[in-house]
Amino acid sequence: MNRPDGPHDTGEEPVSAMDIVATVSHELRSPLTSIKGYTALLLNRWDVLDDDRKQFMLAQVAQDADRVTRLLNELLDISRLETGRLSLRRAMVDLQALAADVVAKVGLAAPELEATVTFPADFPEVYVDGDKLTQVLTNLVENAVKYADPTGVRISGELADGEVAVAVSDRGEGIAAEDLAHVFDRFFHADEGRPSGTGLGLWISRGLVEAHGGQLTAESQPGRGSTFRFTLPTGEFERIHGEG
């Protein structure tokens, strides 16, 4: 099913095209340089490279290609969220299985990740766009790896008042109160010296969750970690929106 949802009203001014181009082009430069360098080595020195080295290079190329794909998807999502043209391909999705898949995939690029996935036995399937929710969860888990403690990540589900909630928690250093108020702002970066990024991932994730009729929030205490939690309505699209 391909159905347009309503516009994502952030209360912010539209993103400047120049800002987007400058930010994304900067982020694209690193993976494209890596892809070009490794493929050139593989093409020119294939016969003298051992198998372990070849496997390492190919894994890096695949990882950087995935990063380029995510950046391009961010560009598309920004445009669709700003103009209200985001379309969701909804189906009944098992969020526990989806979360386990995300942990496995992020773990391929971040072997240091140690994450638990805990959902209640009666947690229902939900009528959502599985690709978009995968994007949201991937962003939250990757952020925990980059900015917090990758050995203490927990993804949990709960049921409450006709909604489901999924939380991604970490045991990192936490987020200062003055930064927590801005984590969903476009182009926001916290302390200098931390890993860089576009500063758009959480803004996009919030828009994708809101397009489903849910909310994405953040809680944190310095020294005690952070929790990013999103809610979603239960049931099918027609029942959620009161359509016959």
Question: Are residues 103 and 78 located together in one domain of the fold?
Answer: no
Q: Quote the domain boundaries for residue 58.
A: 17-83
Q: Tell me whether residue 9 is in a domain.
A: no
Tell me: pLDDT of 11 over 70.
no
Tell me: pLDDT of 158 over 80.
yes
Q: What is the pTM of this model?
A: 0.74
pLDDT band at 221 (very low <50, low <70, confident <90, very high): confident
pLDDT band at 193 (very low <50, low <70, confident <90, very high): very low
Q: Tell me whether residue 8 is in a domain.
A: no
Q: How many structural domains are present in the chain?
A: 2
Tell me: pLDDT of 126 over 70.
yes
Nearest to 148 by CA among 117, 110, 118, 181: 110
Q: Tell me whether residue 10 is in a domain.
A: no
pLDDT band at 177 (very low <50, low <70, confident <90, very high): confident
Distance CA 161, CA 184 (A): 25
Look over the chain and give the mean of its residue pLDDT values, rounded to a whole number. Answer: 82
Question: Are residues 44 and 108 located together in one domain of the fold?
Answer: no
Which of 59, 83, 107 marks a domain boundary? 83
Considering just the CA atoms, what is the radius of gyration of the chain in Å? Answer: 19
Task: Determine contact, residues 164/95, Cβ cutoff 8 Å.
Answer: yes
What pLDDT does residue 161 have?
80
